[in-house]
C-alpha cells in the first residue's frame, strides 16, 4: 500500500497551511529524514522531512497552494515493488495519516502528533423544531453576546453543546455555513462592488491576503470586540537609563560573550521585574478561570514583511540584560526570515510593543488574548520638566498600558505601571 504524505500539524492550533515549495519531484527516491517540502503557516516557514522511504509516486498538491487542511494528502510514496497503479487503489483519506516532523534550519522541531487534531464543530442550519416548546433558545451567555455583536439570529443555529445548547464555537464557526444560507449572509458581509463604492474601477490594486494577515485581522477583531480594554499612561524619565546603557555597552567583551543592549532590552527586563513585583497583573483571562503565571514570559512585537510576530523571552525576570539582548537579537533575525518555531512565538504572559524607533510619541496597543495587558512604548524625547520648582530639560518616554479589565483593574494596572516606572528611572535596580 502506498504511503501518504499529509499536511502536518506544525502547531497545536494549526488547521491549514500553504504548500510553499516541493523539494522533491515525482520519481525521486527518498529515505526517512530527507527534506521533502516547505510549509508556510500564518507565522513561519518550516521544512518537512519524510518519515518513510520509497519513490515519490504522485504529487497531488502543487506549489503555492493555500488553505491546505491538516492531514490532507499532499503526495504518495510508492514502496519497493509498487507501481503507479497502486495509487489508484489507495484511499483518498488514509485511516492512519502519516504526520511529518518539521525541521527548522536542520534541527528537529515539533514532535509528531499522536493523532490528528480534532476539528471544531461546524455550525449548521437547525431543524425547525430546535427551539424549546416554550419558545426559549438554549444558548450560553457568551454565545448570545457574540451573536449580538455579529447580528446573528440564534434561531437558525444548531447547537453542539449538551442537549443542543448553542455554545461559543457554534457562533464563531458560522463562516462554514454554505454561502447561500440566510445565516451566512448575516455573518459575513460581502465587499462593496466598485459601482456603488464611489471608487472608479481599475483605480486600485487588489492585494491578496496571506495566512499571516488573515490571522492578524481575525485575532485583533476578536480582541477589540470581546476584550474590555482600558488604558493607563505614564511618563518615564530615561536619562539615567541611557547613561547606564552607554556604560554597559562600552564594557562589552569581544567574541561569543559580546552584547549590545538596546533601550528595548531594558523595557523587557523592567516589565518582567514589575510583573514579579505585582504578580496579580501577570495573569490571563481563560473564560471560567484566571491563570496567574509563575514566570514573566514577555512577548515582543516584531514587524516583519506582511505583518508582525511576537517572539517570546521566556522567564525574563530570571535573565540579565546581556542575555535578553542576545536572545532578542537571535529571535528577531529568525522572525524576519520566518524561521521561528511555534513554541518561540506562541504563548507568553505579557506583551510589549515599541514604536519609539519610528518616532511615535504615544499610542495604545491592542491586547493579545489571553494576555491580561500589553505595554505600548513611545519614543524618548527631550521635553521641558519642572524639578524642585525650576524648569529643566529631560529625556521623557511615554508608555501606555492597555489592560483587560476582567483581569487587571484600574488600581492593579496603576501599581504595575508604578513598578515599571521605578525600574526605568532607577535602572541600577535592574542589575540587582
Alpha carbon distance, N-terminus to C-terminus of the chain: 64
| Degrees to nearest 5, angle at CA 410 with 406 and 416 | 100
Secondary-structure percent of the chain, ordered helix, strand, coil, rounded to 5: 30, 25, 40
**Class of 3-108 per CATH?**
mainly beta
Q: Where are the alpha helices (DSSP H) in 182-320?
A: 182-187, 194-197, 211-226, 239-250, 263-277
* Crossing angle of the two packed helices 239-250 and 410-425, in degrees rounded to 10: 50
CA distance 299 to 320: 17
Task: Output the tens digit of pLDDT for each of the chain's 432 residues.
Answer: 788 888 888 776 678 888 889 999 998 998 888 889 988 877 677 888 887 888 998 899 999 888 888 889 898 888 877 777 777 766 655 444 444 444 443 333 333 333 333 433 333 323 333 344 444 566 665 677 677 666 677 766 777 665 566 777 777 666 433 334 443 344 444 555 555 567 888 888 888 888 788 888 888 999 999 999 999 999 999 999 999 999 999 999 988 889 999 999 999 999 999 999 999 999 999 988 999 999 999 999 999 988 899 999 999 999 999 999 999 999 999 999 888 988 899 899 999 999 999 999 999 999 999 999 999 999 999 999 999 999 999 999 999 999 999 999 999 999 999 999 999 999 999 998
The CATH architecture assigned to 227-431 reads 2-Layer Sandwich (3.30)
Query: What one-character-per-residue DSSP string does 351-395 give?
Result: EEEE-GGGT-----PPP-TTBSEEEEEEEEEEEEEEETTEEEEEE
* Domain edges within the chain: 3-108, 120-194, 227-431
**Residue in 241, 211, 266 with CA at minimum distance from that of residue 45:** 211
**Class of 120-194 per CATH?**
few secondary structures
Cell numbers at 252, concatenated: 562589552
Look at residue 112 in the predicted model and tell me its pLDDT.
Answer: 33
Look at residue 4 in the predicted model and tell me its pLDDT.
Answer: 85
Q: Provide the annotated active-site residues.
A: 405
Residue 421 Ramachandran class (φ > 0 left, ψ -120 to 50 alpha, else beta): alpha
Amino acid at each position: 500500500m502506498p504511503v501518504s504524505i499529509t499536511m502536518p500539524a506544525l502547531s497545536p492550533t494549526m488547521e491549514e497551511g500553504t504548500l510553499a515549495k516541493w523539494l522533491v519531484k515525482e520519481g525521486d527516491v527518498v529515505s526517512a529524514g530527507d527534506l521533502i517540502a516547505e510549509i508556510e503557516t500564518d507565522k513561519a516557514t518550516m521544512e518537512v522531512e519524510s518519515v518513510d522511504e520509497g519513490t515519490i509516486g504522485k504529487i497531488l498538491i502543487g506549489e503555492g497552494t493555500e488553505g491546505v487542511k491538516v492531514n490532507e494528502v499532499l503526495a504518495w510514496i510508492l514502496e519497493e515493488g509498487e507501481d503507479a497503479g497502486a495509487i489508484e487503489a489507495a484511499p483518498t483519506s488514509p485511516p492512519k495519516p502519516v504526520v511529518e516532523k518539521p525541521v527548522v534550519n536542520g534541527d528537529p522541531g515539533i514532535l509528531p502528533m499522536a493523532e490528528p487534531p480534532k476539528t471544531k464543530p461546524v455550525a449548521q442550519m437547525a431543524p425547525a423544531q430546535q427551539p424549546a416548546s416554550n419558545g426559549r433558545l438554549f444558548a450560553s451567555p457568551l454565545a448570545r453576546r457574540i451573536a449580538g455583536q455579529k447580528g446573528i439570529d440564534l434561531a437558525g443555529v444548531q447547537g453542539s453543546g449538551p442537549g443542543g445548547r448553542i455554545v461559543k464555537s457554534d457562533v464563531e464557526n458560522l463562516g462554514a455555513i454554505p454561502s447561500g444560507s440566510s445565516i451566512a449572509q448575516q455573518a459575513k458581509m460581502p465587499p462593496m462592488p466598485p459601482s456603488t463604492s464611489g471608487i472608479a474601477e481599475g483605480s486600485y490594486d487588489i492585494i491578496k491576503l496571506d495566512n499571516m494577515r488573515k490571522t492578524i485581522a481575525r485575532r485583533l477583531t476578536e480582541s477589540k470586540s470581546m476584550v474590555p480594554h482600558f488604558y493607563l499612561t505614564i511618563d518615564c524619565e530615561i536619562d539615567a537609563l541611557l547613561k547606564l546603557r552607554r556604560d554597559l555597552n562600552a564594557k562589552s567583551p569581544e567574541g561569543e560573550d559580546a552584547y549590545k543592549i538596546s533601550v528595548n532590552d531594558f523595557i523587557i527586563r523592567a516589565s518582567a521585574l514589575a510583573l514579579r513585583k505585582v504578580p496579580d497583573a501577570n495573569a490571563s483571562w481563560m473564560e471560567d478561570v484566571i491563570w496567574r503565571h509563575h514566570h514573566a514570559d514577555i512577548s515582543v512585537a516584531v514587524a516583519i514583511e506582511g505583518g508582525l510576530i511576537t517572539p517570546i523571552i521566556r522567564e525574563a525576570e530570571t535573565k540579565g540584560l546581556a542575555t535578553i539582548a542576545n536572545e532578542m537579537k537571535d529571535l528577531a533575525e529568525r522572525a524576519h526570515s520566518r524561521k521561528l518555531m511555534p513554541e518561540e512565538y506562541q504563548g507568553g504572559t505579557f506583551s510589549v510593543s515599541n514604536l519609539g524607533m519610528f518616532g511615535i510619541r504615544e499610542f495604545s496597543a491592542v491586547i493579545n488574548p489571553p494576555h491580561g495587558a500589553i505595554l505600548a512604548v513611545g519614543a524618548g524625547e527631550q521635553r521641558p520638566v519642572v524639578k524642585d520648582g525650576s524648569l529643566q530639560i529631560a529625556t521623557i518616554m511615554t508608555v501606555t498600558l492597555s489592560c483587560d479589565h476582567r483581569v487587571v483593574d484600574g488600581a492593579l494596572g496603576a501599581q504595575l505601571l508604578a513598578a515599571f516606572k521605578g525600574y526605568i528611572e532607577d535602572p541600577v535596580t535592574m542589575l540587582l
